[in-house]
A = this chain, B = another copy of it.
Amino acid sequence: MKAEIISVGTELLLGQVINSDTAYVARALAELGFDIRFTCTVGDNPRRLKETLETAFLHSDLVVTTGGLGPTDDDLTKETCAAAAGRKLYCDEESRRRIEQYFHGRECGPSQYNQAMLPEGCTVFPNDHGTAPGCGFTTPEGKIIVMLPGPPKELLPMLHQYVVPYLSQWAGGTIASTNIRVFGIGEGSAAERIRDLMAGANPTAATYALDDEMYVRVTAKAETEEAAKAAIEPLKEAVCARLGDAVYGIDVGSLEEVVVHELSRRKKTVATAESCTGGLLAARLTDIPGASDVFHMGAVTYVNEVKSMLLGVPEALLAEKGAVSAEVARAMAEGVRRKAGADFGLSVTGVAGPEPSEGKPVGLIYLALAAQDGTFVRQMRPSGRKERSYLRHLAASNALDMLRRYLFGLPDIERAAFLNDKPAHRAHG
């Protein structure tokens, strides 16, 4: 069945609020197997809403509206949708009672009670986190209308608790999907490698860029959840085979999550020593719940004296090679590993910009991983984006990727990431 989503609210049209409702509703509808052909936003304007609704029903079987159910005068969605379906409004006593209870004791004007006026014969969706109930009903032509409140904290629970069960009577099959997470290949290159695999209609594969990485989403539709999941498998495996060990996980949250969980599983620890990333690598590791099992110490050594004092990097080495060098990266990683008594030491030193440093260009960054059996160094010389925040994020990701490659026994542990144009340099090991 085809579906459309209409969001109502002048604040959305003016861009004062980012519309997340549409995405939440769309995900739920897609999982129920509805085909979403179009979504749109109109202002608090009954005439425009009426036209939009009529156009939607020319093409679609289900229309979901979000917003415009509140107590203020410009909240006119219910009146408009009910009229379009030839239904009158009635006062739903249960909804009225809930509104009274919500305000108990506080001032509650007649406009609040307007929210209990609903189209006759509708299915009411109680609002467990606010005042305006939602509802669903069908038109004489067999079209389905669902109206939901705008605030996401009211809409989301209502959607999952009441709307999905209501709509499942019309759902034609189920959607299953999986995300293949990739670091070290750009979206364009990945798409070229899997172009033929992206041509199918069911299951489908599509590429998405995400900060300094990309992912491939594989989706299938089938009668049952089991069948949909089974339909995903061969395509997922084909995509993974093409992208090789740049695939760092399936349906995982992030590189740091993969690294923290694997360290935890093996009861190993890592310590960090950071110069240009300034704490970002530690911050990403510790963003994962349970990081305290595997991460005990991080040092942010932003100047040479602190590199010597905290990590024991020899002053002579700093003087000879400069702070941004493979040798200093190695000394930092080995130093923090020793100081923390950790299994692994991970270091970053480089020029994040905006100005060059030590006569070295913005973007030149060295990373080192010190392990029991040796120290590996990776050099980054990205030729693309050079913004400071991006370079810092990319450097931290590269450090995490080195540790991932070590932990999973992948070749090419010191291999530079996709933005590098020079081969990396193995210091030792």
Contact = CB atoms under 8 A, between A and B. Distances in A.
Interface of A: 10-20, 22-30, 36-43, 48, 52, 70-74, 101-109, 111-112, 129-131, 151, 186-189, 191-192, 195, 198, 206-209, 217, 219, 272, 274, 276-283, 285-287, 289, 291-292, 295-303, 305-306, 310, 340, 353-355, 383-385, 387-389, 392, 418-419, 421
Nearest to A13: B36
Chain A interface, DSSP helix/strand/loop, else mixed: mixed
Nearest to A191: B72
A335 to B, nearest CB: 13
Contact of A421 (B38, B105, B283, B419): B105
Contacts of A219: 14
A212 to B, nearest CB: 11
A296 B303 CA distance: 5
A389 to B, nearest CB: 6
Contact of A292 (B296, B302, B305): B302
B16 A18 contact: no
7 contacts: A13-B36, A14-B26, A19-B22, A151-B209, A272-B300, A278-B295, A279-B286
A300 B287 contact: no
Nearest to A40: B40
A421 B106 contact: yes
A243 to B, nearest CB: 14
Given A30-B14, A38-B48, A102-B384, A285 B278 contact: yes
Contacts of A48: 37-38
Contacts of A28: 15
A208 to B, nearest CB: 6
Contacts of A385: 129-130
B306 A296 contact: yes
Given A151-B209, A279-B282, A303-B292, A388 B287 contact: yes
A237 B375 CA distance: 58
A236 B189 CA distance: 49
A15 B11 contact: no
A383 B105 CA distance: 8
Contacts of A272: 279, 300
B298 A278 contact: yes
The 10 closest A-B pairs by CB, nearest first: A278-B286, A15-B26, A279-B282, A298-B300, A279-B279, A40-B40, A15-B27, A15-B23, A279-B283, A280-B283
B103 A383 contact: yes
A130 B186 CA distance: 12
Given A39-B40, A295-B302, A297-B300, A17 B13 contact: no
A419 B219 CA distance: 41
A15 B10 contact: no
A43 B15 CA distance: 21
Given A109-B188, A287-B388, A302-B297, A13 B39 contact: yes
